């Protein structure tokens, strides 16, 4: 049966279409590093346990290193008839060192092997994503610091609501990403444990040392139940779920960048390096990058649902359906890494349009809440003040004026509690300055939040 690992009990060869349908090599070859790293640790363990001699292990290790280099250089030939990455590497080993290569699989199954490869892959990807989040956060902080004194309208329902510092708005995303980062870190504790030694499903008869393997592979322990270890892919689902949250956060930021770059808002200029033009309309500068991230968020959601659906009806233990876990996993990791990287670069070069932001905060009665607060400070109940300010806005609107453009006489018609000092309350900057309670947009508070964020980023 050619190079098949399981050819023994078969009389005839595999149908060509079935063989190609069954093969996973065109996507699981991505796991070659993890597969070889795991096999190297496994051969060291077999030698330590006296199952292989030291010399035998050294020969295997050398050959595995050579195969690693060959794949990395692109000199390795992949072949669909050899099904998957595990078969390819074992075959290449046997080609190099003969029957000794056949001993590496002692006590091991492809079922615990793939579970290990994938755990290592998820772990390594998680490390990379965490670093990219950190870089992304530092781009956000850089942008916030560069524009620390800019004010802008804060929105609810996409209607101008209250003035805020731009830095405060950007720091909101810092916090979202901080939680995402924590989620990735917490998931590592569950992912980074060793399933190898579970055999096909029931464990192994050989005297292997799983704790040793776990340490060799810098994992944090071993799985407790062999059937669980070869069956579940919850660690992949978890990475995918956390990634959907992260993409949802990025997508919201992207949506804002898209809106802010319209002529209608005119808050930002996206640098030429991160925008594209139109083939027909010479004036266009399109925010393709944020749009693509918003779009790709959909496929990351889809990947999560795809794997959850694949898994939901599977009896214990391994089922071939589970081979379908890899493409969505790889796609999610690639999309997250590329999105974080490109958006981080784009952020660094965003130009905020100071005047336009300021103008937007001055029009649209964003200080109305502060006027109500002013009346409360003068002894009115908030409900009454809310109603009264509503009346004032109606009348100001009729005169096409902002609140600060009403003179004191016009104001006093609404309430005699209003005095000359009211105008100070109607200035957007003073509105912001009054909000220094923790968590608010006051300049002191935001400055502290920026300092804290920078400390957090340098902690590791």
Q: Which residues form the catalytic set? A: 157, 278
Determine contact, residues 208/90, Cβ cutoff 8 Å: no
CA-wise closest residue to 154 among 351, 371, 366, 445 = 366
Of 173, 174, 184, 318, the residue at the interface with ligand ARG (CB under 6 A) is: 318
Closer residue to ligand ARG in complex, CB, 82/336: 82
Closer residue to ligand ARG in complex, CB, 80/410: 80
Least separation in angstroms between residue 60's CB and ligand ARG is: 21
Least separation in angstroms between residue 452's CB and ligand ARG is: 44
311 to 192, 196, 301, 319, 394: CA distances (angstroms): 21, 21, 16, 9, 58
Interaction between residue 445 and ligand ARG (CB under 6 A): no
Q: Which stretch binds ligand ARG (CB under 6 A): 107-115, 275-283, 342-350, 395-403?
A: 107-115
Residue 48 CB: number of other CB atoms within 10 A?
16
Interaction between residue 311 and ligand ARG (CB under 6 A): no
Cβ within 8 Å of residue 135, ≥6 positions away: 340, 341, 344
Determine contact, residues 326/236, Cβ cutoff 8 Å: no
Q: Which stretch binds ligand ARG (CB under 6 A): 41-49, 91-99, 295-303, 314-322?
A: 314-322
Q: Which stretch binds ligand ARG (CB under 6 A): 141-149, 151-159, 304-312, 316-324?
A: 316-324
Of 34, 35, 37, 84, the residue at the interface with ligand ARG (CB under 6 A) is: 84
**Full DSSP string of 263-314:** TTT--EE--GGG-B--SS-TT--B-HHHHHHHHHHHHHHHHHHHHHHHHTTP
Interaction between residue 296 and ligand ARG (CB under 6 A): no
Q: Which stretch binds ligand ARG (CB under 6 A): 69-77, 106-114, 186-194, 257-265?
A: 106-114
Q: What are 156's strand-pairing partners? A: 159
Interaction between residue 111 and ligand ARG (CB under 6 A): yes
Q: What b/e readout covers 95-122, taking b as 16+ CB neighbours within 10 angstroms?
A: ebbeebbebbbebbbbbbbbbbbbbbbb
Interaction between residue 323 and ligand ARG (CB under 6 A): yes
Per-residue string for binding with ligand ARG, 334-373, x by CB under 6 A? Answer: ----------------------------------------
250 to 269, contacts with ligand ARG by CB under 6 A? none
Closer residue to ligand ARG in complex, CB, 37/84: 84
Least separation in angstroms between residue 310's CB and ligand ARG is: 11
Least separation in angstroms between residue 108's CB and ligand ARG is: 12
Cβ within 8 Å of residue 279, ≥6 positions away: none
The CA-CA-CA angle for residues 317, 321, 327, to 5°, reads 125
Determine contact, residues 420/408, Cβ cutoff 8 Å: yes
Least separation in angstroms between residue 117's CB and ligand ARG is: 9
Per-residue string for binding with ligand ARG, 21-50, x by CB under 6 A? Answer: ---x---x----------------------
Cβ within 8 Å of residue 260, ≥6 positions away: 267, 268
Least separation in angstroms between residue 28's CB and ligand ARG is: 6
Helix (H) or strand (E) holding 178: helix 166-191
Of 67, 193, 270, 322, the residue at the interface with ligand ARG (CB under 6 A) is: 322
The residue behind tokens 């640790």 is: 41
Of 114, 167, 307, 411, the residue at the interface with ligand ARG (CB under 6 A) is: 114
Strands (E), 67-194: 151-156, 159-165
Residues contacting ligand ARG: total by CB under 6 A: 10
Determine contact, residues 22/14, Cβ cutoff 8 Å: yes
Binding site for ligand ARG (CB under 6 A): 24, 28, 84, 110-111, 114, 318, 320, 322-323
């Amino acid at each position: 049966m050619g190079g098949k690992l399981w050819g023994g009990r078969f009389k005839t060869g595999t149908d060509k279409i079935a063989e190609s349908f069954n093969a996973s090599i065109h996507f699981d070859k991505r796991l070659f590093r993890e597969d070889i790293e795991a096999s190297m640790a496994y051969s060291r363990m077999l030698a330590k346990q006296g199952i292989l001699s030291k010399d035998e292990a050294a020969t295997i290790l050398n050959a595995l290193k050579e195969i690693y280099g060959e794949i990395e250089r692109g000199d390795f030939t992949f072949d669909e008839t050899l099904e998957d990455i595990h078969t390819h590497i074992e075959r290449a080993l046997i080609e190099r060192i003969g029957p000794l290569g056949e001993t590496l699989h002692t006590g091991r199954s492809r079922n615990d092997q793939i579970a290990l490869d994938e755990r290592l892959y998820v772990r390594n990807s998680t490390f990379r994503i965490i670093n990219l989040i950190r870089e992304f956060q530092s781009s956000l902080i850089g942008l916030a610091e560069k524009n620390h004194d800019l004010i802008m309208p804060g929105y609810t329902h996409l209607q101008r609501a209250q003035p805020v510092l731009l830095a405060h708005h950007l720091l909101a995303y810092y916090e979202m990403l901080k939680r995402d980062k924590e989620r990735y870190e917490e998931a590592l504790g569950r992912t980074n444990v060793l399933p190898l030694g579970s055999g096909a499903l029931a464990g192994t008869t050989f005297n292997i040392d799983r704790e040793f393997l776990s340490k060799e592979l810098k994992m944090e322990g071993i799985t407790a139940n062999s059937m669980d270890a070869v069956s579940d892919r919850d660690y992949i689902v978890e990475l995918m779920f956390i990634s959907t949250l992260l993409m949802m956060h990025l997508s919201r930021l992207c949506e804002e960048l898209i809106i802010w770059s319209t002529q209608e808002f005119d808050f930002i200029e996206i640098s030429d390096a991160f925008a594209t033009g139109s083939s027909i309309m010479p004036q266009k500068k399109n925010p393709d990058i944020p749009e693509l991230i918003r779009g790709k968020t959909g496929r990351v959601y889809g990947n999560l649902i795809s794997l959850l659906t694949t898994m939901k009806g599977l009896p214990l233990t391994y089922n071939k359906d589970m081979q379908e876990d890899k493409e969505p996993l790889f796609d999610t990791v690639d999309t997250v890494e590329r999105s974080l990287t490109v958006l981080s670069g784009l952020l660094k070069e965003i130009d905020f349009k100071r005047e336009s932001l300021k103008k937007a905060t001055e029009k649209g009665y964003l200080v109305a809440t502060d006027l109500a607060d002013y009346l409360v400070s003068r002894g009115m109940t908030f409900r009454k003040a809310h109603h009264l300010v509503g009346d004032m806005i109606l009348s100001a609107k009729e005169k096409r004026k902002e609140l600060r453009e009403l003179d004191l006489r016009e104001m006093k018609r609404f309430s005699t509690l209003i005095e000359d000092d009211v105008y100070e309350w109607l200035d957007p900057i003073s509105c912001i300055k009054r909000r220094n309670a923790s968590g608010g947009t006051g300049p002191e508070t935001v400055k502290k939040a920026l300092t804290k964020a920078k400390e957090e980023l340098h902690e590791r």
